[in-house]
C-alpha cells in the first residue's frame, strides 16, 4: 500500500503527493513522513546533484486537499505529562519543515483543488506559488481547539496579505474562497476546476524549464527584501546575481538572444 505522503517524479518536477483518505488528515504518521519527504527534497534538489529536479509541486488526491490535523494528536499532547514541552517540540519540528520548504533552491508550487485547512494551508504558505481551483477554499481554523496556527501560517500569511488580514483570518476561523484570497495576494492564480490538476502540473513544468540558478537567486532576494528590507536585498545582489554570469544557462541564453532573438533559449539548470 502506498504511503500517505510520498514523492513521485514527472520529468524535471518532483511531486509531493498527499494521499491519506478519506480526508487527507495530518496525523503523527503524516508528520513523520513530512519530515522525511522534505529532507529528501533537500537532497534531491541540491545544486550538485546529477539529475536533480528543477521544481517541486505539492498536490493531493481525493475530494479535499486536507481537512486539517487529526485532533487526537493534540489530545495526546494536552493530556500527557508535559503538555507545554511536548507542544513546543511539535512546533519546532514543523517549523523546521516549513523553513526547509522555503529554503529549497528551486521553485515550489502548491496546487489546491479543494478544501485546504490548517497544516496543509500552512504548508502552502511556505511554497513560492499557490495555485487554486475555482471551488477551492482555505482556512486556519485552529481556534476550534483553542490553538493558534503554529506551523508558520500567521506570519507567512501576514507577509502575503498584511497583518490585519492575517489576524482576521485566524481570529474568525472562517473558510475563505480562492477568489477572495487571490484578491488578498495569498493565492497567486485561480484556475478552472476542470483540468486543474493538469494545469497545475503544466505550470510547475514551465517553471522547471527555466533558469534554475536564477530562480534560486530570485527566491533569496525576494525573501531577504520582505524580511530585512530592500537595502538588505541590495547587499545580496552582487553575490547572487553576479554569480549567474558563471552559469551555463546565462551564457547559452545570451548567445541564443544574440543569434536567434528573445524567448528561444533552453536551460539545463546549470
pLDDT of residue 254: 96
The pLDDT assigned to 49 comes to: 84
Of 208, 223, 249, which marks where a domain is finished?
208
* 86 is a domain residue: yes
pLDDT of 206 reads 98
Q: Digits of tens for pLDDT over the chain (270 positions)?
A: 689 999 999 999 999 999 999 999 999 999 999 999 999 999 999 998 889 999 999 999 999 999 999 999 999 999 999 999 999 999 999 999 999 999 999 999 999 999 999 999 999 999 999 999 999 999 999 999 999 999 999 999 999 999 999 999 999 999 999 999 999 999 999 999 999 999 999 999 999 999 999 999 999 999 999 999 999 999 999 999 999 999 999 999 999 999 999 988 999 999
| 140: CATH | 3.90.226.10
Contact 189, 182 (CB under 8 A): yes
The total number of structural domains that make up the chain:
2
Residue 231 is part of which domain span? 212-260
Domain check: are 169 and 181 in the same one? yes
pLDDT at 2: 86
Q: Is 230 left (phi over 0), alpha (psi -120 to 50) or beta?
A: alpha
Q: DSSP letter string over 189-243?
A: EEE-STTHHHHHHHHHHHHHTS-HHHHHHHHHHHHHHHHH-HHHHHHHHHHHHHG
Candidates 172, 178, 168, 180; CA nearest to 141 is: 172
Q: Are 83 and 165 members of one domain? A: yes
Is 217 found in the same domain as 204? no
Residue 118: inside a domain: yes
CB-CB contact of 132 with 189 (8 Å):
yes
Q: Are 122 and 147 in contact (CB under 8 A)?
A: no
- As beta bridge partners, residue 129 has 109
Integer Cα distance of 123 and 101 in angstroms: 8
Same domain? For 73 and 140 the reply is yes
Amino acid at each position: 500500500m502506498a504511503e500517505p505522503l510520498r514523492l513521485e517524479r514527472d520529468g524535471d518536477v518532483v511531486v509531493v503527493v498527499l494521499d491519506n483518505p478519506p480526508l487527507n488528515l495530518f496525523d503523527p504518521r503524516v508528520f513523520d513522513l513530512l519530515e522525511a519527504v522534505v529532507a529528501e527534497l533537500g537532497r534531491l534538489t541540491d545544486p550538485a546533484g546529477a539529475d536533480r529536479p528543477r521544481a517541486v509541486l505539492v498536490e493531493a488526491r481525493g475530494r479535499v486537499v486536507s481537512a486539517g490535523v487529526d485532533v487526537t494528536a493534540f489530545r495526546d499532547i494536552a493530556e500527557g505529562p508535559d503538555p507545554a514541552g511536548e507542544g513546543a517540540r511539535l512546533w519546532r519540528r514543523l517549523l523546521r519543515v516549513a523553513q526547509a520548504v522555503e529554503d529549497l533552491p528551486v521553485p515550489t508550487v502548491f496546487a489546491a483543488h479543494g478544501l485546504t485547512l490548517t497544516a496543509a494551508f500552512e504548508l502552502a504558505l511556505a511554497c513560492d506559488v499557490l495555485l487554486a481551483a475555482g471551488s477551492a477554499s482555505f482556512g486556519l481554523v485552529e481556534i476550534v481547539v483553542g490553538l493558534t496556527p503554529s506551523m508558520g501560517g500567521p506570519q507567512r500569511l501576514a507577509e502575503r496579505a498584511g497583518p490585519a488580514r492575517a489576524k482576521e483570518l485566524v481570529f474568525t476561523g472562517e473558510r475563505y474562497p480562492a477568489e477572495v484570497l487571490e484578491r488578498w495576494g495569498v493565492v497567486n492564480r485561480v484556475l478552472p476546476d476542470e483540468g486543474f490538476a493538469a494545469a497545475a502540473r503544466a505550470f510547475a513544468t514551465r517553471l522547471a524549464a527555466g533558469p534554475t540558478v536564477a530562480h534560486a537567486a530570485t527566491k533569496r532576494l525576494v525573501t531577504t527584501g520582505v524580511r530585512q528590507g530592500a537595502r538588505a536585498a541590495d547587499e545580496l545582489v552582487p553575490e547572487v546575481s553576479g554569480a549567474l554570469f558563471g552559469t551555463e544557462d546565462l551564457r547559452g541564453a545570451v548567445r541564443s538572444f544574440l543569434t536567434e532573438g528573445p524567448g528561444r533559449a533552453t536551460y539545463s539548470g546549470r
